[in-house]
Chains A and B, each alone.
Chain A
Amino acid sequence: MKIIRKIKNINSNLSLRSFTVFYRNYMVWLKYYKPGVIGDILEPLLYLAALGFGVGKFIHNIDGISYLKYIVPGIIASSSMYAAAFESTFGAYTRMVTNGIYEAILLTPVGIEDIVLGEVLWGTAKAFMSGMAVLIIGIAFRWTISPFSFFIPVIIILNGILFSSLSLLITSFSPSYDFFSYYFTIVVSTMFLFSGVFYPISSLPYLVKYFVYIMPLYYTVSIIRMLDEGIIHPLILSSYLSVIILFALIFFYASVFFIRKRVIK
């Protein structure tokens, strides 16, 4: 009951002012975007090329499709995860702690709820850029040809919201930049390697497989792969979507709660 009241309270304080926070980040990004773009867009393409062509030479197909085509959906999901995670940890920490931007914004009518929402939207925008770059390459080279692929951007956005929120939650606890290495090693890289980006999780040992089900990335990879291959299982699709949305909501509200706790004494 207490939680419901808190959520209602957060909802009533959310407003369009969150876009001003988004816009501020965008304005700063416009000034320094060049080095950032390399990480967000070029890196996933390097993965795609190196593994797709390199490893793909030895693995002729997985479930009947070429290895390169197989990993495209996974790279879309994982690159958008990385982009959101970087922005909402290192980027957000710099704004919140190092530069005191949150405190400065709180002196205006923009509240902490709007700041967090604005940050999530911004992290999602970065995720979108990164994921879309891979998708566009995929479509351009006809690696993905299903008409359902046009729904993939929606999943990229959900994935961005999910990982921005989770990363902000981590940031709200983080005592320093160093702390993020734990997050990236234990959470982000683990998901990158075990969520079915590079191989079907059915090839994993029995116990490890169950562990994968608590990884949010698994669900986005699966949905994007479904859309990409054009074989839709409505029940799986809807239940996986629900899982993603549930994860995203939990992480979002938790991060509002804990960032408020951190910034307002």
Chain B
Amino acid sequence: MENYILTVKDLTKNFGHIHALNKITFNIKYGDFFGLIGPNGAGKSTLLKILYGIVIPEAGDTFISGLNLQYDYKKIKYGLGIVPQDDNLDEDLSVYENLIIYAMYFGIPKKESIKKSVELLTFFNLEDKKNSKVADLSGGLRRRLMIARALINNPSLIILDEPTSGLDPEYRQNIWSRLRALNESGVTILMSTHYMEEAEKLFKNVIILNHGNIVLNGSIKEITLNKKSLEEIFLNIAKN
């Protein structure tokens, strides 16, 4: 377990009679760029929401950085950066204030949070939008701000739920390059997508989820070695 930043064992979640997740088990190594792939309704968001505490599972254990999610979720949050599928920026505040307030939720001292916010605005090319209202940002900029916000506490694990969906190719590449840079700097990334091209380009290891079950688990290289493209594998799975 010491080698893993995230361990998930037998995670199960039902919504009424929908089996969103069936006994999901997998691990993520420190420094990994880990992908979660699956068609619509596969259970990707449910899995990620359990990891960040918005959904409570019926059964199963989760450990993040060696801490049990069930008991230590507050401690865990200090080391976690989260980008949910639906954006929930604070519409009443400016771009800069969104970062400052978020830092406050983490208890980061004011001086430090100002420095970090400026740094993040630069990293995500948002300096000239610093004082704009969030409501005035385009979809692509909002997504960048969501990711910037998730980095305010210097997390060691970032969880992103389809961060590039709905973005044009330029914005998508823009986000890819920043995520890659973060991963190279030592941050572990867990990210979901249903773009196979994106998966092949970014991920080191993946699980493919369908109807709440893991149907494939391994490194991108292994998976694509003898078969054809990830796209075909994915389409085959989605058909069943």
Give me the interface of A with B, judged by CB distance under 8 Å. 17, 20, 23-24, 27-28, 31-32, 99-101, 103-111, 263-265
Contact = CB atoms under 8 A, between A and B. Distances in A.
A109 B74 contact: yes
B53 A28 contact: no
A141 B45 CA distance: 61
A72 to B, nearest CB: 35
A33 to B, nearest CB: 12
B110 to A, nearest CB: 12
Which 4 residue pairs of A and B lie closest in terms of their CB atoms, listed nearest first? A100-B88, A108-B105, A104-B88, A28-B92
B106 interface: yes
Given A103-B88, A265-B54, 15 more contacts: A20-B101, A20-B105, A23-B104, A28-B92, A101-B90, A103-B84, A104-B89, A105-B105, A108-B106, A108-B153, A109-B74, A109-B106, A110-B105, A111-B74, A264-B53
Contact of A265 (B52, B55, B89, B101): B55
Contacts of A110: 105
Nearest to B80: A107
Contacts of A265: 15, 49, 54-56
Nearest to B13: A265
A24 B54 contact: no
23 contacts: A20-B101, A24-B104, A27-B101, A28-B90, A28-B92, A28-B93, A31-B92, A99-B88, A100-B88, A101-B88, A104-B89, A107-B77, A107-B80, A107-B84, A108-B105, A108-B153, A109-B77, A109-B105, A109-B107, A110-B105, A263-B54, A264-B55, A265-B15
A106 B91 contact: no
Interface of B: 15, 49, 52-56, 74-75, 77-78, 80, 82, 84, 86, 88-93, 97, 101-102, 104-107, 150, 153
A257 to B, nearest CB: 14
Highest count of chain A CB atoms <10 Å: which of B86, B89, B97, B107: B107
Contact of B82 (A107, A111, A264): A107
A31 B49 CA distance: 33
Contact of A264 (B56, B93, B150): B56
A106 B80 CA distance: 12
Nearest to A13: B74
Contacts of A24: 90, 101, 104
Contacts of B15: 265
Contacts of A100: 86, 88
A99 B90 contact: yes
Contacts of B150: 107
Given A107-B77, A108-B106, A27 B88 contact: no
Nearest to B50: A265
Contacts of A103: 54, 84, 88
